[in-house]
A and B are shown apart, each in its own frame.
Chain A
Amino acid sequence: MSLRHNLRVVRAVAAADIRLTLREPLFAIAGVVIPINFLLLFLLFAISGGQAPIAVVMDDRGPLAEQFVQAMNNSQSFIIHTASSADAEREIRAGTVVAIVTVPQDFDAALSAGTRVDIPVEVNNLNVDFTNDIRRAVPLSITSFYADAFPDQVVVHALESDAQAHDTGYIPYLAVSIVVAGLMLAALLQGSVNAARDYELGTVKELALAPVSRLAIGLGKILGAAAVTATSALLVLGVVILLIGVHPLHPLEVLGFGLLMIVAFLALGVLVGTLVRRRQQAIPLSIACVLPLFFLSGPFGPANWLGEVPGAIAAVSPLTYAIAAFQHAFHGYQTATQDLAVDTMVLAGFTLVTVTLTALVFGRRGVAR
């Protein structure tokens, strides 16, 4: 067969798959939008941040009391608003604040006289995690306040320097990790659904019996699925770049790693679809695979910082390397113990393995039947 003929086969198979996808508009839309959903959902998690909303009841408005509240503001632990005692109590019971800090009436007078004063702190101790955050943050504010107000008494203080030129917000950081998960989800979903659909409709038989190269068929199917996946990827990237405002420092890396990921996970999707042969099973499997893999692959920061077990789990997940590569592409720094060359090699190797495995399984189990 001539190259031209094979290219026509590739184009025809790809076009047929795209048309079939578009014949189910609801699923086509859902398939494209699901990664965006993923992005929005996890940003919901990120924007909660680590700062506790608290009410401060100012029974003393002296300069030291004001300085103490300022120290609490600067502690990066609280979102503060002042309230009357009754309002604060109502808010904590309604769950809109998680603690009430009351600056007592004799605060300034006691400190000026050098006598001890206790600050009442009422905590909505819903769970031990954020309750302990508050238990730590209030004494921290007190020490910071003392270091400012009485520098000759509290002389030990932290002097910070940073490894990176500027801080990266949590949302810009997490958004990049979520792009990777979104790409994986879109590719897995599209690959598995397209493959499973061929078995459900019986079109896999026709393809197998057609007098054309199986490689051309395979390429056509990947191209068809890739077209829909690319639409989804562009949408996710558009949201991250245009709406969230995270611009890639190395756009070519985004393109290269993005294509590598799409091919790897499309192949994995086709493998899943070939094995389960039903869209009813392929869809939940694809969605369910992404969630744990994403969380265990260091999306929030280097996985080894979370401990040895999370670090070891992340080291065997291909998504870890993809996240590290994308963080480098967007922010220009490494977020894993390995460097970019290792990320590239692992991703390329993973792509090769998934494509080969899929071709083997498709050839043996898929076309054979």
Chain B
Amino acid sequence: MGSLRAVLAIAAKDIVTWLRTPSAIAVSLLPPIAFLLIIFVVAGATGRNPVAVVAEGNGPQAQRLVSILNDSDAFRVQAATPAEAAHLLDTLQVAAVITIPATFDDDYRMHRPDPVQIRINNLNLDFTNDLRRSLPTAITHFYAGEPDNPIMVGVAESDLRPHDVDLVQFELVPILVLLLTLMGVVNGGLATAREFEDLTIKALLLAPIGRGAVIAGKILGCWVTTMLVAGLVLILSAVSGFLRPAGWYWLPALAVIGLIALAAAGVGAALGGTFRRFAPVSAVGINVAIYLFFLSGGISVAAFLPGWIQTIAHFTPTFYGVDALEAAIFYQSTDNLGRDVAVLALTAAGGLVVGIMSLRRRLDAF
């Protein structure tokens, strides 16, 4: 009973200390907020390149192509004369100039080669390849709108998931996992390092409580803080509709969040016990959390990464956390849930063992 009270008191002290330490709050919240901001800004702009369109031909087919370019979700179109377009391209106000020649309609009618010119400012292959794909895509739409479309090949699409997920929503899950790992690893580490740096560890060791109670209190405090912040984020996300697991899928989502937080708290305690100083704990902790973020999908999709990185990603516990949360929140699916929870449970157990061993050794040596 006494030990339990001691554990709870140490945990409560750590939670209150975190709430009163702006720098600890900043370490935990700033990187996820930064990524969130970036996702919002970039998602609104993804894939739409500014182009100038010079329509030298004004026949019905040329006008139809211009209209398709205007409506395309790949371009932000600005009509221009050849001289204006050249100036816009030179001053980087547009990424490309598309010129529909004066003979466009005639060549089209006569079935002669009918090129649409595109001059690209090929600064880097990301933008350049987007543009290289986008004009042929517009030409595809051009033919699709023809009553006597010569293209006899169509697409019969079927989707693996019941519905598409918006990019911002999709990116929120890895960011939530980043928040959990940062909260656990960095805060857990700082809470432990603080005891050594401020020498309050002496008071704890001189108190008539077991060392196990000290260790349990530190890990519990970190886990509860992490869960409180995660809970707040989940409530806000559910109310705003961004992340809302349906029905009983709340349960696996909460279980996964709890396991990630536990593993991170254990690793944090280990870091704090190993380094015992703020500076290395925050530097190493932030790096570890951000690496885990990128390897678990981060701002990309794991399948798009090269094979060797995918292999590394499969050894990254947060990869399974992201997978399980996505399945629960977006797709109402239990595919791979058993595997994901098993990996996370093992990781949590491993994190706890590492944390307990590191702290016990450090306390014994103190």
A residues lining the B interface (CB < 8 Å):
24, 26-27, 30-31, 34, 37, 41, 44-45, 47-53, 68, 75-77, 92-93, 95-98, 110-111, 114-132, 135-140, 142-146, 150-164, 166-170, 173-174, 193, 276, 278-281, 283-285, 287-288, 291-292, 295-296, 300-302, 304-307, 309-310, 313, 333-337
Minimal beta-carbon separation of B326 from chain A (angstroms)? 8
- List 7 extra interface pairs beyond A34-B287, A119-B153, CB under 8 A: A45-B294, A92-B160, A123-B157, A143-B143, A161-B118, A284-B286, A292-B38
B279 x A27 contact (CB < 8 A): yes
A44-B294, A279-B279, A281-B22 are contacts. A142–B170 as well, Cβ < 8 Å? no
Contacts of B252 in A (CB 8 A): none
Q: Which residues in window 241-299 of B have CB below 8 A to A? A: 275, 277-280, 282-284, 286-287, 290-291, 294-295, 298-299
B111 x A155 contact (CB < 8 A): yes
15 contacting pairs across A/B (C-beta < 8 A): A118-B155, A121-B156, A125-B163, A129-B46, A146-B153, A155-B113, A156-B114, A160-B118, A167-B124, A174-B124, A280-B279, A280-B282, A285-B26, A300-B124, A309-B45
B30 in contact (CB, < 8 A): yes
A95 x B113 contact (CB < 8 A): no
Contacts of B145 in A (CB 8 A): none
- 5 tightest CB-CB pairs across the interface, nearest first? A288-B30, A159-B115, A127-B170, A173-B124, A281-B23
B299 x A45 contact (CB < 8 A): yes
Contacts of A279 in B (CB 8 A): 278-279
Contacts of B306 in A (CB 8 A): 47
A125 x B153 contact (CB < 8 A): no
Q: Which residues in window 121-154 of B have CB below 8 A to A? A: 121-130, 132-133, 135-137, 139-140, 142-144, 150-154
The CA-CA distance from A117 to B155 in the complex, in Å, is: 8
B49 x A280 contact (CB < 8 A): no
Contacts of B152 in A (CB 8 A): 110-111, 114-117
B123 x A302 contact (CB < 8 A): yes
B120 in contact (CB, < 8 A): yes
The CA-CA distance from A95 to B301 in the complex, in Å, is: 10
Cβ-closest chain A residue relative to B104: A156
B335 in contact (CB, < 8 A): yes
The CA-CA distance from A131 to B265 in the complex, in Å, is: 36
- Neighbour of B116 across the interface among A95, A152, A158, A335, CB < 8 A: A158
Cβ-closest chain A residue relative to B305: A48
The CA-CA distance from A213 to B95 in the complex, in Å, is: 53
The CA-CA distance from A296 to B298 in the complex, in Å, is: 18
Contacts of A337 in B (CB 8 A): 91-93
B119 in contact (CB, < 8 A): yes
The CA-CA distance from A122 to B152 in the complex, in Å, is: 20
Minimal beta-carbon separation of B94 from chain A (angstroms)? 8
B150 x A98 contact (CB < 8 A): no
- Neighbour of B301 across the interface among A98, A310, A336, CB < 8 A: A98
A96-B303, A280-B190, A296-B38 are contacts. A128–B165 as well, Cβ < 8 Å? yes
A138 x B155 contact (CB < 8 A): yes
- Neighbour of B140 across the interface among A49, A111, A140, A151, CB < 8 A: A140
B129 x A156 contact (CB < 8 A): no
B165 x A127 contact (CB < 8 A): yes
B121 x A143 contact (CB < 8 A): no
The CA-CA distance from A288 to B282 in the complex, in Å, is: 12
A170 x B125 contact (CB < 8 A): yes
Minimal beta-carbon separation of A55 from chain B (angstroms)? 11
B151 x A125 contact (CB < 8 A): no
B107 in contact (CB, < 8 A): yes
B365 in contact (CB, < 8 A): no
- Neighbour of B44 across the interface among A120, A151, A309, CB < 8 A: A309
Minimal beta-carbon separation of B279 from chain A (angstroms)? 5
Contacts of B157 in A (CB 8 A): 121-123, 135
Q: Which residues in window 4-21 of B have CB below 8 A to A? A: none
- Neighbour of B137 across the interface among A53, A140, A292, CB < 8 A: A140
A76 x B50 contact (CB < 8 A): no
Contacts of B304 in A (CB 8 A): 48-53, 98, 130
Contacts of A283 in B (CB 8 A): 278-279, 282-283
Contacts of A291 in B (CB 8 A): 30-31, 34-35, 38
B205 in contact (CB, < 8 A): no
Most buried by B among A92, A136, A280: A280
Contacts of A135 in B (CB 8 A): 157
Contacts of A142 in B (CB 8 A): 140, 151, 153, 155
Cβ-closest chain B residue relative to A126: B301
Contacts of B163 in A (CB 8 A): 125
Minimal beta-carbon separation of A333 from chain B (angstroms)? 7
Contacts of A41 in B (CB 8 A): 290-291, 294
Contacts of A170 in B (CB 8 A): 124-126
A47-B306, A154-B151, A158-B116 are contacts. A287–B93 as well, Cβ < 8 Å? no
Contacts of A93 in B (CB 8 A): 160, 335
Contacts of A161 in B (CB 8 A): 117-120
